[in-house]
Structure 1
Amino acid sequence: MTKPDDTIRVLIPLNVRKKNGRPKILPPADYRPSEDQSQDPHILRAIGRAWGWRRRMEAGEFATIQELAKAVGLAERHVSRQLRLAYLAPEVLKRLTCGREASAVSLYDLCFLAGESWGEQTVSAFR
């Protein structure tokens, strides 16, 4: 049995910031990420949602983006922008979903990147 005097205190320096409206713990400045780092879950979720919307539109469930936006309860502009993620180049999708490298591109930038040709997307996304 331990006595109250035997308590060990461990201090871990961290910073908590809000990212996308959620608290995120930031590592110390000298931290180097390991090789098994995974992708940002917000990007993965947005890509999955965009592909789901694309399938529903191709199946004829919705004829327009306006109908889709109303059905999912989001703004038409948001749905239109996010839907572009379903048209990213296969190489970009592979690196975002299967790759273990941290992407330097944000979700916002990815939405606009989808308008470029597939060759330009691969170059621009992973500079």
Structure 2
Amino acid sequence: MTGISLTTPVAQQTATLSADGKLLAVHVPMAFRKRGGRKMVVAPNGSAAAPHPHAWPARRSNVDQSLLTTLAQAFRWQRMLDEGQFATISDLAKAEKLDHSIVSRTLRLTLLAPDLIEAILDGTQPEGIERQRLLHGFPIEWEKQRRMAAG
């Protein structure tokens, strides 16, 4: 007997029927990867599992909540600096009771390309766009950012 899957090609799955014919065991190769604090199912070819064409649409894409929160914080802090609430990043860091370097690295997120920011907000950012990676530095030029995200 062969198993039927909605998303996995038959060549990649195996199915066995118990001797009494009451139990069908289906093996579908997949891996789980953590992305933005959530686990994602990854197909054997490395792509994220695609929903079946007849599946109900997802309410929300895979928003990286940690990255989204950090991005919002960066823009909030930038607005506070722009409005003159704090004269320097050091003053802001002191008021937030954070190290100057953390505030500086977070503020750099305001320099991301607009399309990458939109993708983060939508939850459709490439795998190369992750909170820790961005906080450790990224190019200022938007084209280089896009290449970094893609590769």
Task: Tell me the TM-score normalised to structure 2 length.
Answer: 0.58
**Conserved 8 A contact 2:64-2:123:** no
CA separation in 1, counterparts of 2:141 and 2:148? 10
Which of 78, 83, 104 is the aligned partner of 1:80? Answer: 104
Change (3 A) 1:76 1:29: same
* 1:43-88 CA distance string (max 9 Å, x none): 0000000000000001111111110001111111111111101111
Change (3 A) 1:53 1:28: closer
What pairs with 1:70-109 in structure 2 (closer than 5 Å)? Answer: 70-100=94-124, 103-109=127-133
Which range is displaced more, 77-86 or 44-53? 77-86
What pairs with 1:1-127 in structure 2 (closer than 5 Å)? Answer: 26=39, 32=49, 34=51, 36=58, 37-100=61-124, 103-111=127-135, 112-113=137-138, 115-127=139-151
Task: Tell me the TM-score normalised to structure 1 length.
Answer: 0.68
CA separation in 2, counterparts of 1:88 and 1:19? 20
CA separation in 2, counterparts of 1:78 and 1:44? 16
**Conserved 8 A contact 2:81-2:87:** yes
**Conserved 8 A contact 1:65-1:80:** yes
**Conserved 8 A contact 2:126-2:149:** no
Change (3 A) 1:40 1:63: same
CA separation in 1, counterparts of 2:42 and 2:143? 34
Q: Give the structure with the larger helix fraction.
A: 1
The structure with the largest alpha-carbon Rg is: 2
**Structure 1: gaps (5+ residues):** 1-17
Q: Please name the residue that 1:7 is paired with.
A: none
* 1:23-46 CA distance string (max 9 Å, x none): x67466768365843221000000
CA separation in 2, counterparts of 1:58 and 1:25? 34
**Structure 2: gaps (5+ residues):** 1-33, 52-56
Higher RCO (CA < 8 A, seq sep 6+): 1
Fraction of identical pairs, as percent = 28
Q: Give the structure with the larger strand fraction.
A: 2
Change (3 A) 1:64 1:19: same
